[in-house]
Structure 1
């Protein structure tokens, strides 16, 4: 149905769509839990907050799992190289994520304030740390990851966990964290009332403005970084072979795609504008619209990063020629085609079910509702 080149482009878009879906859906869960210890003033209010996302958080993990599976299926070289090179960072994310399922399940099993506060902080750790680490990982992609391939395409990673925590990557981690807090805060403001909503709107508005400042700062920083440029002709129909290309590093090259396609500037522009509009809408109590504009901000930020890196997926600082791109790190034509049909069938089912679940369980979560459902809610 599609030639190899077209499928490579389609899967770049599909992986991006899955990452965006994860950031919007599971991202607002993480944002809510990051706000939990600061917005809820007592156990009753914190139960309200937890139950705004309680029915959905497990379903939203599907986006995370599916994105990982899609990278494994579509970009096996990226999956193998990233999961070995970022091993300790991913382990840190996994350890942090352990707090989420046990936190949701255990926090209300014991009627003890210290017990519940401890699990509330566990939910914070399990949400805030992954949000930061995901941004740190993206930041390191712009700097280049220290790996290289030998003639047998066996990768060697020479970096360390602490090297990942460089100033630029930490800045990107803070952009990611404030963005997801904004996303979660917009959702929480829509699902709550009175004091919880007031405090949520205040902290979310601050997070949105901080995110804009950090995003702009990161943009100017990227302009001064050495980007990657492919200097020879690429066989876009060819089989995967990262070593078949020549790559050089040039200062400011990460902005080349924006210079070549000026319309792409709409994404960084929306990445600045949408959080500001979100803050304004929250102040006006237009919470549902604020969640939509916050989601558009998430889309814009991720698309800005994707367009900047295109066609690179995982640049190499050790050997630029070993850099992985969407053209030379993919699976076979048959695999991409089969997986495309799988996504074509399953993705609408996931979206439809998620939409139905949110529609059925819409509305405000209040203290009165929590008291009425004392033995059935988190």
Structure 2
């Protein structure tokens, strides 16, 4: 039987995998939506872009639902703190990604009126840009720590405001996230479309990849020299019951880089972020751009993994009361709960992956102009 420490580490890894899966899949349709006004010049080209993501975006969002569910079940303290302390950004994510975007896809082609369609096109655009930035803003605030604390009865209190979430470092992470997802979305469009949309998508994906390399590097310098990270001094028990008040934590500039000196092999993770983006930049025009899309996926996995590796064992630090910070070791559900959930993952996650692979295989191929024009006459597609 797996011990408590191992189960906690496994669920920390699974949470990261779910977020990476969401970024790689739903990330490209957020990026494609962001590029909609930049790669299309007429209504048919806009419909081409929308039809590359229209059949798959709902399935892609399953990953974020799984991630939220995993937090709720495996990390209940994290769920309680994050979803209430960052309530407004989470609400904006729901409105932009979960409500306005599906409505825009469904209603956009209901009428042939140009004003009607252009209005919904801008809703699609904002449904790509706003979540892309907000995800980065949330990560930036998590790296700095949220202003919460637990009292002696483990009730949560907050001492910050919504405006505090829009701090310079968080906004920097927001534009980094936007560049990352735009790169990914542009390469997806390069795979799924023909010229001239393909050429424009490749151009913007390469611009985004170049900016991503710069933003990611600058963010690393910021973290190393100007951002307080957190260190556990004592009291963390990997085998103990979940109670965040039994440890001592200090803040220290550059603390988020300690794991890389303790575990040199972990440097591979940020290296993947840079190498993948560089590969996407240099190979975007190779063949059908599939290799560049693969490189983009590797870059996203590396960048998200960098956040996790840098923070370990922290999941959600507290900036107002460092002792209240949530760790892998003191924020999880019980050992039995984690074990039962792991059994469910072993059974059902392969089914999800197989079904997803089958869907993408069925929907393979490019979206062509003549097909869209034919579908327009028959009033189908997006």
Band the TM-score falls in, shorter-chain normalisation: over 0.9
In structure 1, stretches of 5+ residues that fail to align are none
**Deviation at 1:256?**
0.2
* Mapping for residues 136-215 of structure 1, pairs under 5 Å: 136-215=137-216
**Which deviates the most, 328-337 or 276-285?**
276-285
Query: Is contact 2:190–2:288 with CA below 8 Å preserved after alignment?
Result: no
Provide the residue aligned with 2:62 in structure 1.
62
**Inter-partner Cα distance in structure 1 for 2:112 and 2:288:** 36
**Deviation at 1:284?**
3.1
Give the secondary-structure state (helix, strand or coil) at the position aligned to 1:242: coil
1:130-155, CA deviations, whole angstroms, 9 ceiling, x for partnerless residues? 11111111111111110000001111
* Mapping for residues 1-378 of structure 1, pairs under 5 Å: 1-97=1-97, 98-224=99-225, 225-374=227-376, 375-378=379-382
**Which deviates the most, 214-223 or 264-273?**
264-273
Give the secondary-structure state (helix, strand or coil) at the position aligned to 2:207: helix
TM-score by length of structure 2 reads 0.97
**Inter-partner Cα distance in structure 2 for 1:58 and 1:144:** 32
**Inter-partner Cα distance in structure 2 for 1:160 and 1:39:** 38
TM-align CA RMSD: 0.9
**Deviation at 1:83?**
0.7
**Inter-partner Cα distance in structure 1 for 2:85 and 2:295:** 35
**Deviation at 1:77?**
0.3
**Deviation at 1:161?**
1.1
Q: How many residues align?
A: 378
**Inter-partner Cα distance in structure 1 for 2:262 and 2:235:** 17
Give the secondary-structure state (helix, strand or coil) at the position aligned to 1:283: coil
**Deviation at 1:233?**
4.3
**Inter-partner Cα distance in structure 2 for 1:286 and 1:101:** 29
**Inter-partner Cα distance in structure 2 for 1:109 and 1:218:** 44
**Deviation at 1:95?**
1.6
Give the secondary-structure state (helix, strand or coil) at the position aligned to 1:110: coil
**Inter-partner Cα distance in structure 2 for 1:91 and 1:160:** 15
